[in-house]
Homo-oligomer: A and B are copies of this chain.
Amino acid sequence: MKWVFDMGSSTKQDILNAAELLFAEHGFGDTSLRAITTKAEVNLAAVNYHFGSKKQLIQEVLKRYLDVMMPEVDKQVAAMLAKNPQPGMPQVFGTLITPLLLLNKVRPAGTSIFVRLLGRGYSETQGHLRKYIMFHWGEVLKRFVDAVHLAAPDLPPSELFWRLHFAIGTFVFTMASSKALCEISAADYDQPVDVAGIINRLIPYISAGTAAPVAASVTTITSTPTLDIA
């Protein structure tokens, strides 16, 4: 029977919910289907029955979040540009805050889970995730990049390319290790920090980095490097 409001089998949701937690915690490669099905309390074969393969399960885990976040990014960028046609870098990157925090409505702690998944995906899937996002959300991303360019009109396109990938790196890596960082911060500085706190601290860093003036000249090696192997 097909429900009018098809919420899918509970099994399928249980698998997704268990999988995303384990994926975020241990990465895709180091999370076995057996660990997932055990945590979800479903049969091992259910994954291949409902998703076909582990690879497709990973895709659907990420898709659940991207489908919510990316349209919101588009909306926020448009709204920001309507209000301020010549935005500063913090305004541009600030458009990401709402979409990211919106993910907490997809699942409890959804923002934290998604950004960690993103970090894992970028470093583990050897470019597959990058291509997937580019293919499905390339238009949205292009409009975002255009906004970045608007905030740094003097930056050559090739330099902007590198800056944006630096920004992605900062964001993705920080988020991938966000759990550990929050624990260290809480222990060493006695100040609990949540994902929203990290995002708010990231914006100034990324904004300043991306908008930094281009280095006047290539740094040269001043002292002669020495290598003495006993």
A residues contacting B by CB (< 8 A) are 26-27, 29-30, 68, 72, 76, 79, 90, 94, 97-98, 101-102, 105-106, 119-120, 122-124, 126-127, 157-159, 161-163, 165-166, 168-174, 176-177, 180-181, 184-185, 188-189, 191, 193, 197-198, 200-215, 217-219, 221-225, 227
In the complex, chain B residues whose CB is within 8 Å of the CB of A217:
200
How many copies of the polypeptide does the oligomer hold? 2
In the complex, chain B residues whose CB is within 8 Å of the CB of A102:
225, 227
Q: Which residue, A161, A189, A204, A221, has most C-beta atoms of chain B within 10 A? A: A204
| A189-B157, A207-B212 given; A166·B223 CB < 8 A | no
For the complex formed, measure the closest distance between the CB of A183 and the CB atoms of chain B, giving whole angstroms: 10
In the complex, chain B residues whose CB is within 8 Å of the CB of A120:
123
Report how far A126 CA is from B90 CA in the complex, Å.
31
Chain A interface main SS type: helix
| A30-B29, A166-B202, A206-B209 given; A219·B173 CB < 8 A | no
> Which of B127, B168, B185, B223 sits near A79, CB closer than 8 Å?
B223
Q: Which residue, A184, A212, A214, A218, has most C-beta atoms of chain B within 10 A? A: A212
In the complex, chain B residues whose CB is within 8 Å of the CB of A105:
225, 227
Other A-B contacts than A123-B176, A173-B173, 12 sampled, CB-CB below 8 A, are A102-B225, A123-B124, A123-B173, A163-B205, A168-B173, A169-B171, A169-B173, A169-B174, A204-B214, A205-B209, A207-B212, A209-B212
In the complex, chain B residues whose CB is within 8 Å of the CB of A208:
208-209, 211-213
Q: Offer 25 A-B interface pairs, CB within 8 angstroms, sorted by A.
A: A27-B123, A29-B30, A94-B219, A98-B221, A98-B222, A101-B221, A102-B225, A102-B227, A105-B225, A106-B227, A123-B123, A158-B189, A165-B174, A168-B173, A169-B169, A169-B177, A170-B170, A191-B222, A191-B224, A193-B222, A200-B215, A204-B212, A204-B214, A204-B218, A208-B209
Output the nearest chain B residue to A119 by Cβ-Cβ distance.
Answer: B123
Output the nearest chain B residue to A214 by Cβ-Cβ distance.
Answer: B204
For the complex formed, measure the closest distance between the CB of A107 and the CB atoms of chain B, giving whole angstroms: 11
| A72-B225, A102-B227, A177-B122 given; A204·B200 CB < 8 A | no
